[in-house]
Amino acid sequence: MKERAISIMLLVAALGALLALALITYFVFQSGLPLILEVGLWNFLSGTTWNPTADPPQFGLLPMIVGSLWLTVGSLVIGVPLGIAVAVFMVELAPPRLAQFMRPAIQLLAGIPSVIYGFIGLTILAPLLRSTFGGPGLSVLTGAIILGIMILPSIIAISEDAIRAVPRSLRDGALALGETHWQVISGIIIPTARSGIVASVILGMGRALGETMAVIMMIGNALIIPYSPLQPATTLTSNIGLELAYATGAHRDALFATGVVLFVLIMLLNGIATAFVRRPAFSRRGT
Amino acid sequence: MCWLAFALLLNACGSTNNENVLNITGSTSVAPFIEHLAEIYQQEHEGVTLNVQSLGSTAGVRAAIDGVAEIAMSSRNLDAAEAELLEQVVVARDALAVIVHPSNPLVNLEQAQVQAIFSGEVTSWAAFGGADKPIVLVVREAGSGTFGAFEELVMQGVPITPAALRQGSNGAIRQIVAEDPNAIGYISLGIVDSTVKAVAINGVEPSVAEVEAGNYTFVRPFLFVWQKNRPMSALATQFLEYTLGPAGQAELTRLGLVKGVTTR
Amino acid sequence: MNAQQKQRFAFASIWTAAMLTMVLLTLIVGIIMVRGLPSVTWEFLTGTPEDLGREGGILPTILGTVALGLVALLIATPLGIGSAIYLTEYTHTSRLTRAIRFGTESLAGVPSIIFGLFGFIFFVNYLQMGWSILAGGLTLALMVLPTIIRTAEEAIMTVPQAYRDVSYSLGATRWEMVTTAVLPSALPGIVTGVILSFGRAVSETAAVIFTAGTALNLPVSPFSPVRTMAVHFYILAVEGISLEKAYATGAVLIITILLINIGANMLVNRVIAKRGK
């Protein structure tokens, strides 16, 4: 029957996303896992030297792991307080006209291509940092500041949803009991919205971990383990993006192996975030 | 329904064997120069499309071996295994130039000094009479032809420090060195311009004249490679001849490269 | 500090944060537009690049961007809407739907460089497409699929149950009900998701470089390599080819995103307005 056929076709379509995920997992793992097994997972993750074209080649991922960590933490330090503050502002403090104006502005911030952010970091922020603090200017700090701004819209949007979802009754009740507005926000609203806010942070973390081109432009890509934010570093993503074009043989496999590590890391994070909250796309608009 | 059409589309287009299209893939060092040539060639020959892709010497060589690209560009010599499978010709020679910021008073370095700088042994400009500022190294990434050539010809086994900033193209290195008074890097001589200063090595200026005279020896070949035993398309043959001929060579030398030694 | 002082301090900080965000946005967009717009002329938009992009225009990159976006949407939209219809209208929550949802959410979280890696291994090499519009478009399709599924699902779920009931009572089959009662009503929401996905395709760089290549020529077939505006901007900026053209390309990119956002917002407002009735 025609209905049956349509039903099956739709099922096939729905399986498409699952199939794509399976394909991606298969191919990336198939290309990268053998090298991890050959080098040894622990050696791979903890090795401090990355010299893929030497004889014998050395594949140590530690500088990149630390670089990714530094950069992600740094961008969260900058993006999270700012993002939550703006989310609170949009819901609780902003005059409605201002909020209406800010919302499309934040949307624009969200849509700006990441390479433009990287460009600003490269041409404006890096020279500024160089003249202020010395050093090459291309550093973890440069990346953290720009990435922090880049993840702002996601944090704002999801936190806003979470804050908005706090029942008005809780809010009004507390106000009626004589609490100041800020006491209500800090004592009731934010704690109640906590799981949504945390989800937004984790999603922002995923975005910062996954960014590639902008990071290549801003972070200097030195293969050291940075101990100061003013030093250049490399991330898991930027190393893949930088070296993939020229890599062959074991070198290329090592980059796919890096991809495997990155993939696992981000899937873990996303799993945690999804466990917290599932965000509807429409609820924040229009109010 | 949509799927059937899609499958048919895939089949109909088949592989990219259009005789008016030539795919040239390879080194990011060679590509800018070949793109210039391609621009001129396409202007002179109507209806011809030359796709120059700069995705790396090694990727290019791979593409030539696999037949994905008809001609590949390489900024390093082929290894034994590759040389078995590919024909090669030197289309130009390119010198490696060590560059510093124009305000840097440095004029000449001994090769040993270059090695000391890039290996991280010397870390401050004070060692060369400058201010006590940390030297900022800017290099290419592992696997690039330029990186390999620098390692082989200049460093000669001395490892480059991991503290060096890595950039994905010569243009990017030039840009950074042009902006940072403490930076030093290496790029293709062909793209040195007034925004940076090229340093003499062992007393020899990096210039086309010195390369041709045989005095400046940090030179690497720019190669065109293609599959052995595979008949080249008419377009590929013509473009190859153009590149190796007087017009192509004149343009390449105008752009700052050194004439290739034409042996076919 | 008493409660009032604490509040004043907290609110001052929050206002500062909000204003800072606006200032940052203005700075970022402003710098690009102020330095880039003057170079965005008709010749720039319709001309071809010369001297590797130092002179001339960016027409091939505009075409490349549009081509990639179109291919991506042509593939992802039917798939996405089909998935959404299946998940909302054709099944109840089950192991299967949970698995599908897991697949979709996970796909949404995969970083773009991994898509680039996958597209490179699978489309460019394994399927022998080479660096091409097809390879790039297919990769982008996978990247935007989750968004289309999510927005389509929500749009469909907000269609009032009454519509469906009426349709069934008139004797429609499930498919007829979906196509006549649900989809037309959900259309603005779905289209919003499609438009936003196009924005994502426009901005994407890492996945595109390794699947569609970087060639600057006008694309002639689905197997032509293309350079998108975002990739062109990246190359111009990083290699110091031309700061002026980089800014100009950036300005065009921002204008494109702005137009996409405006289009999507107009549609969303229509959805809200209709829902209010």
Domain boundaries, chain C: 3-39, 42-276
Cα C136 to chain centroid distance, Å, stands at 14
Beta bridge partners of A104: none
Asked whether the beta carbons of B201 and B218 are under 8 A apart, the reply is yes
Asked whether the beta carbons of A110 and C199 are under 8 A apart, the reply is no
Over residues C204-259, the pLDDT tens digits come to 999 999 999 888 888 888 998 899 999 999 999 988 888 899 999 999 999 999 99
**What percent of chain A stands above pLDDT 90?**
60
Q: How many CB atoms lie within 10 A of CB C204?
A: 29
Task: State the Cα–Cα distance between residues B155 and B152, nearest whole angstrom.
Answer: 6
Buried b (16+ CB within 10 A) or exposed e, C47-60: ebbeebbeebbbbb
Contact status of C4 with chain A (Cβ, < 8 Å): yes
* Listed residue (B186, B226, B245, B223) closest to B93, CA to CA: B223
Q: What is the pLDDT of residue B261?
A: 60
- Give the total number of structural domains in chain A: 1
Q: What is the mean pLDDT of residues A68-90?
A: 95
ipTM of the complex: 0.90
Residue of C214, C221, C231, C243 to mutate, testing the B interface (most B Cβ within 10 Å of its Cβ): C214
Task: State the Cα–Cα distance between residues C17 and C23, nearest whole angstrom.
Answer: 10
Helical packing angle, A236-243 and A62-88, nearest 10°: 120
Q: Which residues of B touch C215 (CB under 8 A)?
A: 51-53
Helical packing angle, C183-203 and C229-238, nearest 10°: 20
Task: Select from C32, C111, C121 the Cβ nearest to the Cβ of A31.
Answer: C121
Q: Is residue A286 part of a domain?
A: no
State whether residue C71 is helix, strand or coil: helix
Mean pLDDT: which of A240-249, B188-197, C134-143 is highest? C134-143
Report the chain B residue with the minimal C-alpha distance to residue C212. Answer: B53
Judge: C213–B16 Cβ closer than 8 Å, yes or no.
no
Asked whether the beta carbons of B36 and C51 are under 8 A apart, the reply is yes
Minimum distance, in Å, between the CA of residue C117 and any CA atom of chain B:
14
Instruction: List Cβ<8 Å contacts ≥24 apart for B249-255.
Output: B249/B92, B251/B36, B251/B37, B251/B40, B252/B33, B252/B37, B252/B91, B252/B92, B253/B92, B253/B208, B255/B33, B255/B36, B255/B190
Task: State the Cα–Cα distance between residues A89 and A156, nearest whole angstrom.
Answer: 10
Which stretch of DSSP H or E encloses residue B199?
A: strand B197-201
Residue A165 has phi, psi (to 5 degrees) of -75, -10
- Give contacts of C 33-72 with A, CB under 8 A: none
Judge: B142–A251 Cβ closer than 8 Å, yes or no.
yes
pLDDT in tens, chain B (264 residues): 444 445 445 444 444 457 788 888 888 888 888 988 998 998 888 888 888 887 778 778 888 888 778 899 988 888 888 888 898 999 999 899 999 999 999 999 999 999 999 999 999 999 988 889 999 999 999 878 888 889 989 999 899 999 999 998 888 999 999 999 999 999 988 889 999 999 999 999 998 889 888 899 899 889 999 988 888 888 899 999 999 999 899 988 888 888 876 433
Q: How many CB atoms lie within 10 A of CB C176?
A: 14
Task: Select from C78, C134, C240 the Cβ nearest to the Cβ of B175.
Answer: C240
Over residues C158-186, the pLDDT tens digits come to 888 888 888 888 888 888 888 888 888 88
Q: What is the pLDDT of residue B190?
A: 84
Residue of A6, A246, A252 to mutate, testing the B interface (most B Cβ within 10 Å of its Cβ): A246
Over residues A10-25, the pLDDT tens digits come to 888 888 888 999 999 9
Judge: A130–B180 Cβ closer than 8 Å, yes or no.
yes
Is the four-CA dihedral B91, B93, B99, B102 of positive or negative sign? negative
Q: Which residues of C touch A108 (CB under 8 A)?
A: 25, 29, 254, 257-258, 261
Contact status of B165 with chain C (Cβ, < 8 Å): no
What secondary structure letter does DSSP report for B128? G
CATH number of domain containing A194: 1.10.3720.10
Q: Is residue A281 part of a domain?
A: no
Minimum distance, in Å, between the CA of residue B143 and any CA atom of chain A:
5
The runs of H, that is alpha helices, within chain B are 2-13, 31-44, 57-66, 80-85, 111-118, 145-150, 170-179, 208-212, 234-244, 246-254
* Listed residue (B264, B220, B254) closest to B29, CA to CA: B220
Q: Is residue A125 part of a domain?
A: yes
Judge: C100–A23 Cβ closer than 8 Å, yes or no.
no
- Pairing outcome for strands B71-74 and B86-100: unpaired
Mean pLDDT: which of A173-182, C20-29, C50-59 is highest? C20-29
Task: State the Cα–Cα distance between residues B32 and B54, nearest whole angstrom.
Answer: 8
Residue-wise DSSP of B167-190? ESSHHHHHHHHHH-TTEEEEEEGG
Q: What is the mean pLDDT of residues A140-153?
A: 96
Residue of B51, B55, B191, B235 to mutate, testing the C interface (most C Cβ within 10 Å of its Cβ): B51
Judge: A245–B59 Cβ closer than 8 Å, yes or no.
yes
Q: What is the pLDDT of residue B12?
A: 41
Please give the class, per CATH, of domain C42-276: mainly alpha
Q: Which domain holds residue A56?
A: 30-276
Asked whether the beta carbons of A101 and C18 are under 8 A apart, the reply is no
Asked whether the beta carbons of B258 and B208 are under 8 A apart, the reply is yes
Q: What is the mean pLDDT of residues A216-228?
A: 94
